[in-house]
Chains A and B, each alone.
Chain A
Amino acid sequence: MTDALWYFARGSGVISLVLLSVVVALGIGARSGRTAFGLPRFTVNLVHRNAALLAVVFLIGHVVSLLFDPYAQLRLFDLVVPFAGNYRPVWQGLGTLAFDLLLAIVITSLLRHRLGARTWRVVHWLAYLCWPIALMHGLGNGSDNGTVWLWTISALCTALVLAAVAWRLSPSFTRFPQRADRKINPALQEVR
């Protein structure tokens, strides 16, 4: 039974990482305003959202199974406060941090109509912090550390996210590169 928990914890952790990588790439894709793989923009947007919710489901599975795992000795306290764990505190702490960041991103997204676009957007930027932390947690903390399959999956996820970020920063990113930036005319703030 305890072995099953342990396998489930590892598996769900890896699946979460893969899903989060896809979510980041889709989020960047949605930001571009382009259609992708023949999917309309709003579908890209919905897949981004649903994949993120699915990642949260797997992450909760990951965390809950570890609460009952005798090796990990995870306490509820460790879900919130990073770097206080008994087992590899630093690597586990990164996991806690990524979990908390993801919760913040998801909750603000679900409440964004109440919070307003600005608050939502600022918190959403934390995705760029959350994803690498989750990656490091997986590589460093897992007992699969050093296995070829975990490194392969991690490398593929990294390649996916880096490619998306590189595209995000390229001039060909938006559909309308000739579009003028929306920014407040400084003359309206100045008083002479």
Chain B
Amino acid sequence: MSRETRLAETFVNLADTLVADFDVVDLLQDLVEECVALLEVSAAGLLLADERGGMRVLASTSEETRLLELFQLQVHQGPCLECIATGTAVLVPDLAAEAGRWPQFAAEAAQRGFASVHAVPMRLRAYVLGALNLFGTRPGALSEADVRSSQALADVATIGILQQRTIARGEVVAEQLQTALNSRVVIEQAKGILAATGGIGMDAAYRQLRGYARNRNLRLTDTARSVASGVLNPTQVLTGPWR
């Protein structure tokens, strides 16, 4: 399948999800994974600004990526934060060459094996909700087509969070965002329960949880909530490889 065909298919699938009763966190997880499959990058994450001046990682392709995103928040520097602050894409093909801009972040990224970072904003008119962040293990610029595709994927993420294409009230943005952030907490709790029950790592626990939900056509957050509140036995989720 050509890259263009695959990209088109991704958008069709995402559009399908958006009209059905869908789970935001699940959609965003699909999206970061699609980024890695479609674009010349090896990891991806979604960073969201919340109303209280903080930022949260809502999806990432691995714990490693998530930790790097969190690191930016701790040191208050990095291309993703700059992208959110300015509302424009920040493309860094060679992080080592621009280490002077974000010395702590550049060092941490290099230590985790990343050499390039590209951040595209998730925005709705004047609002900047967050950024889609793409990490590469080798230095290199994104092609113009990839930059356009990643912005389109970031726009889908924005629509996904807002759940409505025509949105007027800022209140709805806040309601949806806070609900999504709490879903993320429920998922982390469920991951912990599955990890301890199965003696597995957090990435593996997350895969089991998503696989189980997908297999049964359940919403990821609902499944996580069932595990976290003790309604669903964790061993059931851990039985069988779902993907």
Pair from one complex: no
Residues of B within 8 A of A (CB): none
